[in-house]
Amino acid sequence: MKAIVKNSSSPGLSIQEIENPKPGPLEVIVKIQKTSICGTDIHIYDWDDWSSKTINPPMQIGHEWTGVIDSVGSEIKKYQPGDRVSGEGHIVCGECRNCKAGKRHLCIDQHGIGVHLPGAFAEYFKIPATNLFKVPDWIPDNIATIFDPLGNAVHATLSYDLVGEDVLITGAGPIGMMSALIAKHVGARNVVITDINEYRLDLCRELGIIHTYHAKNDLRELMPSLKMSEGFDVALEMSGSPDALNNIISSVKNGAKIALLGILPDDTKISWNDVIFKDLFIKGIYGREIFESWYKMISMLDSGLSVEGLVTHEFHYENFEEAIAVIKSGQSGKVILNWDK
């Protein structure tokens, strides 16, 4: 079969012919239909400091996907060939304290599909059945393909009660845009999103996110027009920018709640005096709550949450280099790879 592989300790990826996977007793083989490219895949392509310390080539990459089950292991009863599925990208140990308490997203020994284990950028893909999620018939393939990042957005955005609250989101990448749409859907009063990329701010407006601002703007000057007097109630940092985090801290009210999903540099400096004396609550976000984020995601899609406009480009997998170039240009939302012949 064909797969997109990180074949060496250097920049780039290649399409390789590799052996078809075979399922263990508790595993399934999925025939991949579509995948989407994540920022993680770009890091692996570039072979940056993180990827060089994390990836052991050769590695079949990719963790955002949808497909149909091709075959199942001998002990699988719940799934059968032909089932339409997506799946959770973090393989957990099942034995640590958090796993046994039902908090699998906090497992101390997680392994990432497409990072530590062979990924989904392939014609066929092996995954434990416990990581599968059946895709309802009414959900289009392009949406099922982006369940992974949408779940990240659900996890971050629903960490706090947003009903009637003023919400600031820094970073209008795909997950930031998803979070803005979710915040609106669940009843936030004002949802403000900032970025330095005008293409993505324009895409936000096309999606119905009204309050979009360049990150250089002083958010405190905007508050009167939004009927705000004390600051934002909740903030979601999605960009990984130290400046964005500092803007959040200066723009939120006393007692505000902050979620951090963007990966900040190790040397990021903030005003700890403001954190303490404003009595701020800061929470780190990683992955999805398995599988609570998935159920919430499906329920919101069923009740009118619309994210289809986030998918802006689609390529055949053989043209993955062109897809990556589009992402690197900054002129895209989510980019899909189609694995049909």
Query: Is 294 part of any domain?
Result: no
**163 and 273 housed in the same domain:** yes
285-336 pLDDT per residue, tens: 999 999 999 999 999 999 999 999 999 999 999 999 999 999 999 999 999 9
C-beta pairs of 42-51 under 8 Å, 24+ apart in sequence: 42/324, 42/327, 42/328, 44/6, 44/13, 44/115, 45/6, 45/11, 45/12, 45/13, 45/324, 46/11, 47/6, 47/9, 47/10, 47/11, 47/12, 51/6
Q: How many CB atoms lie within 10 A of CB 158?
A: 20
User: Domain of 244: which CATH number?
Assistant: 3.40.50.720
Beta strands 281-284 and 252-260 are parallel
Q: Is the pLDDT of residue 341 over 80?
A: no
Query: Is 293 part of any domain?
Result: no
Q: What percent of the chain is predicted at pLDDT more than 90?
A: 98
Q: What gap in Å lies between CA 156 and CA 333, rounded to an integer?
A: 19
**14 and 114 housed in the same domain:** yes
Query: Is 300 part of any domain?
Result: no
Q: Which domain holds residue 260?
A: 154-284
Beta strands 211-214 and 190-195 are parallel
CA-to-CA separations, 86 to 40, 66, 83, 251, 329, in angstroms, rounded: 18, 5, 10, 38, 28
**212 and 312 housed in the same domain:** no
Q: What gap in Å lies between CA 298 and CA 137, rounded to an integer?
A: 12
Answer for the pair 231, 212: CB distance below 8 angstroms, yes or no. Answer: no
This prediction has a pTM of 0.95
Over residues 198-203, mean pLDDT: 97
Q: What gap in Å lies between CA 68 and CA 208, rounded to an integer?
A: 33
The structure tokens listed for 338 are 């189609």
Q: Is 40 a catalytic residue?
A: yes
**24 and 67 housed in the same domain:** yes
**100 and 171 housed in the same domain:** no
Q: Is 145 a catalytic residue?
A: no
235-265 pLDDT per residue, tens: 999 999 999 999 999 999 999 999 999 999 9
Q: What is the DSSP string of 306-320?
A: --GGGEEEEEEGGGH
Answer for the pair 132, 28: CB distance below 8 angstroms, yes or no. Answer: yes
Q: Say which of 35, 43, 90, 211 is annotated catalytic.
A: 43
State how many domains the chain has.
2
Q: Say which of 40, 145, 170, 212 is annotated catalytic.
A: 40
**168 and 280 housed in the same domain:** yes
**7 and 127 housed in the same domain:** yes
